[in-house]
Amino acid sequence: MKCYNVKKIVFALVIATGYSFSQAKAQGLVQFIKEKLSIGLKVEAVSSNFILSNMSGVKSDMNIGGAFGPSLKLDISKHFAIQEDILFTYKSSKLKQNGISGDLQFFGTEIPFYALVQWKTINKDRFYIGLGPYAALGFSAKDKINGADINLYNNDSGNVESIWNRMEIGAGALIGYEFSCGLQVNASYKIGMTNVLKTNIGNAKMRTNTASIGWGYCF
């Protein structure tokens, strides 16, 4: 009986020790995030078009748009960080086919994740470059042709199915410079990996192609 009680005490001590250790680790992780996490705001000028495949006679030209939203960055070490942007994006591009020109307009959100490599300069500014995936969700998309608006997510012209996919994934690259005061300038390039066309006729494919120049501030 006494041996049984000793076992219970030892077991309780092991559980308590493990719990205390896990609590300390959790508190240490929270403290690390508090010290290394920075929040910023970004505004971007965007130029976009589409990379077309199996669409003979169709041409996509770049047009101007914009994006803005918050940015979160976690400094893992002196030279490595992880950054997430949450951008509300407006894109537009020209699509020409058989002499008819349409204006494609898109509004949605993009969430890129970048693995950053960064270096501090002698005046305590910071230079960084990064690569990573992104995911996008479309809120609205339309094609303006001869004054008529075609809803690409819910085509009103007799077709109950949407023409475009709302969800998209791709890859992006980022390069930027952060001044010691927190002001940032950066440029990015994103390319879609998925076909935005939901109605796939003759294996036709449209993938997004976006370049941007941005300004931001890190708090």
pLDDT at 153: 85
Give the HSE-up count for residue 218: Cα atoms under 13 Å, Cβ half-sphere.
23
pTM given for the model: 0.80
pLDDT at 16: 47
The DSSP secondary structure of 1-56, one letter per residue, reads -HHHHHHHHHHHHHHHHHHHHHHHHHHHHHHHHHHHEEEEEEEEEEEEEEEEES-T
How many CB atoms are closer than 10 A to CB 96? Answer: 13
User: Over the chain, what is the mean pLDDT?
Assistant: 84
pLDDT at 7: 46
Q: Are 166 and 138 in contact (CB under 8 A)?
A: yes
Tokens 């995030």 belong to residue: 33
Domain residues of the chain, as ranges? 36-218
pLDDT at 71: 96
pLDDT at 10: 43
Q: Which residues of the chain have pLDDT under 70?
A: 1-30, 32-34, 155-162, 199-202
pLDDT at 22: 54
How many CB atoms are closer than 10 A to CB 65? Answer: 20
Residue range 187-219, pLDDT digits in tens: 999 999 999 988 666 688 999 999 999 999 988
Give the HSE-up count for residue 92: Cα atoms under 13 Å, Cβ half-sphere.
10
d(CA 119, CA 127): 5
d(CA 16, CA 34): 27
Domain at 36-218: CATH architecture: Beta Barrel (2.40)
